[in-house]
Structure 1
Amino acid sequence: MMMNLFSSFDPSSNLSLSLNWMSTLIPLILIPSYFWIVPSRITIMWHLISHTLYNEFKNLIPNNIKSMLIFISILSIIMFNNFMGLFPFIFTSTSHMVMSVTLALPMWLSFMIFGWLKNTTHMFAHLVPQGTPPILMPFMVCIESISNLIRPLTLAIRLSANMIAGHLLMTLLGNTGSSMSLIPLMFLLIAQILLLTLESAVALIQSYVFAVLITLYSSEVN
């Protein structure tokens, strides 16, 4: 039922094939430009962005520099797919729980396995915050355990809900345009442009929030 709810705004595909997920592979077209002798403007811009993200994540986990590539890659995947969904008739894969859970669950599970196998004492100590009264320690263990278990679900729901909310609002407003007169239609177009600008900001912010939270989760197990 959940998957059908998030699939209600998919563009239709022809040839009796589900080609909507092919839009996820569109950013791969940009990869060959990295091998040009003279880099393109897009390549130079993305190198600057990657360097900025590297410095940002390095402050969050200074002792694990080699894993920066994973977090920057996750941010890139989510951001490209979010921006692809802003174009007409392109399927927004990050608005589906299938895509967001696939990104969140393996990362969280790998962090938990590594933490409990390598830093067991630290993981047990993390269940009880410092300064907790002894009488509240059993309750804090239950609360921290539940909060750790629902982390991949909250990551997935946050990304999917924020991406589908703006598209849903733009779709509902766009369907009312055919029954409006000229002056209300002009205001509707201005509102749609403002919503599209807001969705562009949301696409960037949600990818950054997802990557930062994954980075913070990894820093807790080290």
Structure 2
Amino acid sequence: MITGEIKSQVDKIWTAFWTGGISNPLTVIEQFTYLLFLRRLDEKQQLEEKKANLIGSELKNPIYSAEYTKLRWHSFVDEDPEALYALFTQPQKDMDNLTAFELMKQLGSKAGAFAQYMKGATFMIPTARLLDQVVQMIDKIAMDDRDTKGDLYEYLLSKIATAGTNGQFRTPRHIIKMMVEMTQPTAEDTICDPSSGTAGFLVGASEYIHEHRELPAAQ
């Protein structure tokens, strides 16, 4: 179960986003999740590096190759705010003109299925001060316990549910795409979205069906 301390940390991060100019709860959880994901990627590689060092072997199939060291969480977490923000917003010439955020989107199979759905993700944190503030707070969240990770995301989702009682929110297109691809709708299915709003899910389902339809054999 998520502890009161972690809830308090999440609440403070949520407030930081809000006061920093990001008031849409969906945008908050997007940006929060991206940063959590970046931290987890680096922690995963650090664990594998320790294992490799213990047995005196080279790390096979690293998530981050050596030239991208500056774009890893443990490397940029102590940067000053402006330098940190530059790593997220300005292409790094010595690192294939990538940013920390763009590299995350390109990791693909090395990082698992989640990264493959981040191709349409957008970095939306508006200032260096806010990015630094949030990164420092996320870095202090204790996430060693596997159950804590799940509880953390459940708590984040509960905050969206609470916020949703006060208005309508559009689901980002890359999230719609991921959910549609997971359900794999067909032309034989009856599809209903009771809270369609701008019909993003319905349009996404229609596009998926169109793209995956079986064409008649050529005569």
Higher relative helix content: 1
- Bigger Cα Rg: 1
Q: TM-score, normalised by structure 2?
A: 0.26
Q: TM-score, normalised by structure 1?
A: 0.25
